[in-house]
Amino acid sequence: MSFSSTLPFTVHWGDCDAIGIAFYPNFFAWFDNGTWNMFEEAGIPMDGLMRDYNGFGFPLVDAHASFHNAPRPRDRLVLHSRVEGWSDKTVRIAHRVMRGDTLIAEGHEIRVWTVRDTDDPDKLRAEPVPGEIRERFT
């Protein structure tokens, strides 16, 4: 079974658009929060990633969401995040947003392992995800 984590959160007033429901880009911000929360729970805090590996934020190459129900201000939601799979240089993370038993939205992120050159921090390159990181998620 793959590693997963849950993150409860409140939909804030400013998260909502002019019709009174969550502005859809915020779902992706919540996905991002869920990913970093999951890494932290797996023992790989974000600042360690950046410092120990010369990491460059584990940037996105692909993101998708489908929306099933519209959350309102002050709704209490729960985000479920899970590593779905790895390729050599990427990880695929699945996210589901629930309000109680109701599915609100679901989607995924694909992130590519990216490091800064030690000699020239402006030079970036994709590299295989270090084995010790992948192991934390199994």
Point out which residues bind a second copy (CB under 8 A): 10, 12-14, 16-21, 23-29, 32-33, 36-37, 40, 45-47, 50, 56-57, 59-67, 70, 72-74
Distance of CA 29 to the CA centre of its chain: 8
Q: How far is the CB of 135 from a second copy (least distance, A)?
A: 22
Output the six-digit token pair for 44: 């790989």
- Which residue, 110, 86, 98, 79, is CA-closest to 5? 79
Q: Which is nearer to a second copy, 70 or 98 (CB)?
A: 70
Q: Would residue 54 be called left, alpha or beta, if left means φ above 0 and alpha means ψ between -120 and 50 degrees?
A: left
Rounded CA-CA distance 117/56 in Å is: 10
Q: How far is the CB of 11 from a second copy (least distance, A)?
A: 10
Q: Which is nearer to a second copy, 11 or 83 (CB)?
A: 11
Q: How far is the CB of 37 from a second copy (least distance, A)?
A: 8
Q: Which is nearer to a second copy, 10 or 138 (CB)?
A: 10
Q: Which is nearer to a second copy, 64 or 88 (CB)?
A: 64
Q: How far is the CB of 107 from a second copy (least distance, A)?
A: 8
Phi, psi of 21 (to 5 degrees): -120, 160
Q: How far is the CB of 130 from a second copy (least distance, A)?
A: 18
Output the six-digit token pair for 72: 């309102």
Task: Compute the C-alpha angle 69/73/79, nearest 5°.
Answer: 55
Q: Which is nearer to a second copy, 34 or 133 (CB)?
A: 34
